[in-house]
Structures are given as C-alpha cells and as structure tokens.
C-alpha cells in the first residue's frame, strides 16, 4: 500500500474514533442531565447533588464543599454541555469544503508550481520522415516557481543523429554549480565535468558530428549557446497551456500535488479553528448566563455562614 493510501486510512480511522468518542461523551452528559432533571426542581449541591434548603449552612453537609464556590444547581441552572459532537460534525464537513477550496487556492498562488521550458534548434540534418527529435537539438529546462521568481534546477540538451547511425548525444547541466557532463550512446564514460560555456557547447557540437568551424557548426554553436544562456538567466519562452504549432518553443507550468495537499490542510485548519473559536465563545456566554442565574438562586437561599 502506497503512503497516500496509508495517510487516507489513518485520517479516516482518526475521524471515526474521534466521532465515537465525541458521541459517547455527549451521550453521557445528556444522561447525567436527564437524571438531574428528574431529581426535582429544588436547589442541590453542584458537586454531590445534595438538596439545599433555604437558611441552610453555606457548607454542604454531604461533601463539605463551599456552596459559594461550587454553586448550586436546578434544572434551569444546569451548565451547558460543550458542543463536542457539533465541533466534530463541523470539522468533518469542513474537510469536504477544504478538498474543494484547497486546489483552487493552490492554483491562485505561486507555491509548488513547477515548469518545463523547451526550445529547439533546427539543423540541415533534420529528417521529417523519422522521429521529430532526429536531426534537431532540443533544449529543456525544468525547475520550480512562478510569478514571484523561478529556480532553475536542471538543464538538458539532447541530440539524436539521423538514421542509420541513430547516435544520441546529451549534455546534463547543473545550473547551481555551473558544470556539465556530455554523454554519448557509443561511449560508456561521460566527458566532464566541464565548465558551462562556449567551450562545452563546442564539445557538444563536435560530439554531435558537426564541424565546429564550418558555417553550420558556427550557427549551431551560436544558437545553442544563446538558448542555454537565456535559460540560465531564467529568461524562458512565454507560458502556454497548449503546445505551440511547431512544438519547439514553449513553457508549461504545472502544479505539484504537494501544493494541493498543503492548501487543503491550511484551509481545513483555518476553517476548523474558526469554528472551534466560535463554538467556544458561544459556550462561554451560555455558561456565564447560567452562572448569573445560579448566583441569583444562591442569594435567594440566604445561606448561613
């Protein structure tokens, strides 16, 4: 089972267990309240339930508690039940809301966006009847970020000679370290590391079986280094959601799943936290209202010190 399935199972199990606990706690409180209501309307000690008559002493004869501190209760002054079950139901419902709003929030932010920028350099060796990549030098840049800046993680240059040789040449560039390696399909060991620059481009062109000093070799070297320089400066082609007609120069932006997960969690935490604060304040106001009512009942009893 993949970790996503484990995570889903853990969240589902936690929701079920907390729901059972919330329902059980609420049921116990309701049963206790029902039993207290059935005892009659006379004031009783809030700690032990001993009936308190007017003029009695302020200390409960049953449990010894100070009634001014623990209070007295009647069916109208029972403390309100904390809405644990309502909080759980709201949190579960807000989980569905978060799954709907989270991806939209992630899509409206630059967080977690990756990009793939491509460009191509045509050569006279391009063979349209074969694969589109044969005889064409392709440049691909990949990284993260959008709108507020980008980070170039990898730069790749690839070339496949036309049939019948079908020989591949590839340059892997590490932008952060300014070095590269040149791989060929007919050599087990790569050339490098080489400093990223015109000399490395000339070596790539030579490995691609172009004469670096003939007219086409010079053109390919200049165009390839121009494309690589733009990408290394984070100057990418305009972003698009559809492939360009030629399919050779475009930038695609895509959102990672981690960004959606983080956004979903953030939306749920904010919404559930807001719900918890609202319910807590409502419960506190009810408790204060009941406490004032119980204080009036305590004063009416005129208990002796």
Per-domain residue ranges of the chain: 3-91+272-301, 113-254
| pTM over 0.85, yes/no | no
For residues 152, 241, 226, 170, the Cα torsion angle rounded to the nearest 10 degrees is 70
- The predicted model gives 94-108 an average pLDDT of 84
Euclidean distance between CA atoms 243 and 126, whole angstroms? 20
pLDDT digits (tens, 9 = 90+) for 203-253: 898 888 888 788 888 898 899 999 999 899 888 877 655 444 445 677 888
Q: What percent of the chain has pLDDT over 70?
A: 83
Average pLDDT over the chain, rounded to an integer: 79
Does the pLDDT at position 130 exceed 50? no
**pLDDT for residue 17 is more than 60:** yes
For 17-39, what is the mean pLDDT? 75
Whether 47 and 70 have beta carbons less than 8 Å apart is answered as: yes
Handedness of CA 27, 28, 29, 35 (dihedral sign): positive
pLDDT at 240: 59
Residue 249 near residue 237, CB atoms below 8 Å: yes
pLDDT winner (highest mean) among 57-66, 68-77, 224-233, 280-289: 224-233
Mean pLDDT confidence for 186-205: 86
Give me the long-range contacts of 280-288 (CB less than 8 A, separation at least 24): 282/83, 283/80, 283/82, 283/83, 286/80, 287/79, 287/80
Does 98 score more than 80 pLDDT?
Answer: yes
**In terms of pLDDT, which residue wins out, 147 or 92?**
92
Q: Is the pLDDT of residue 38 over 50?
A: no
pLDDT tens across 283-305, in order?
A: 888 878 877 777 777 777 666 65
**What does residue 195 show for φ and ψ, rounded to 5 degrees?**
-65, 135
CA distances (Å), origin 148, targets 85, 97, 145, 181, 222: 43, 28, 7, 31, 30
User: Would you place residue 37 in the very low, low, confident or very high pLDDT band (cuts 50, 70, 90)?
Assistant: low
Choose between 207 and 47: higher pLDDT: 207
Give 164's pLDDT tier (boundaries 50, 70, 90). Answer: low
Q: Which residue has the higher pLDDT, 57 or 154?
A: 154
pLDDT score for 165: 66
Can you give the pLDDT at residue 172?
Answer: 92
**Spatial CB neighbours of 206, under 8 Å, sequence gap ≥ 6:** 212
pLDDT at 173: 92
d(CA 119, CA 287): 68
CA distances from 30 to 24, 35, 245, 293 (A): 10, 9, 69, 21
Q: When comparing pLDDT for 168 and 11, which is higher?
A: 168
Per-residue confidence band for 171, with pLDDT thresholds at 50, 70 and 90: very high
The pLDDT, as a whole number, for residue 95 is 86
Q: Looking at the predicted structure, is the pLDDT value of residue 140 above 80?
A: yes
């Amino acid at each position: 089972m993949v970790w996503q399935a484990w995570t889903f199972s853990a969240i589902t199990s936690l929701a079920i267990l907390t729901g059972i606990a919330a329902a059980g706690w609420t049921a116990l409180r309701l049963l206790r309240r029902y039993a207290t209501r059935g005892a009659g309307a006379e004031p009783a000690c809030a700690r032990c339930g001993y009936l308190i008559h007017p003029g009695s002493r302020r200390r409960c004869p049953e449990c010894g508690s100070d009634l001014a501190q623990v209070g007295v209760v009647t069916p109208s002054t029972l403390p309100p039940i904390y809405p644990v079950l309502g909080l759980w139901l709201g949190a579960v419902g807000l989980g569905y809301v978060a799954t709907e709003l989270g991806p939209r929030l992630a899509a409206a932010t630059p967080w977690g966006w990756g990009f793939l920028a491509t460009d191509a350099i045509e050569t006279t060796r391009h063979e349209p009847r074969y694969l589109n990549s044969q005889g064409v030098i392709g440049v691909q840049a990949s990284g993260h970020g959008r709108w507020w800046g980008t980070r170039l993680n990898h730069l790749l240059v690839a070339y496949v000679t036309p049939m019948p040789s079908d020989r591949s040449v590839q340059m892997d560039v590490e932008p952060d370290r300014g070095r590269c390696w040149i791989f060929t399909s007919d050599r087990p060991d790569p050339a490098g590391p080489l400093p990223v620059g015109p000399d490395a481009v000339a070596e790539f062109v030579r490995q691609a079986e172009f004469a670096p000093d003939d007219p086409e070799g010079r053109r390919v070297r200049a165009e390839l280094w121009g494309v690589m320089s733009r990408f290394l400066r984070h100057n990418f082609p305009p972003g698009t959601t559809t492939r360009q007609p030629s399919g050779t120069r475009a930038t695609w932006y895509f959102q990672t799943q981690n960004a959606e997960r983080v956004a979903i969690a953030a939306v749920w935490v904010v919404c559930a936290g807001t719900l918890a604060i609202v319910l807590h304040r409502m419960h506190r106001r009810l408790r204060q209202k009941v406490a004032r009512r119980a204080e009036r009942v305590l004063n009416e009893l005129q208990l002796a010190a």
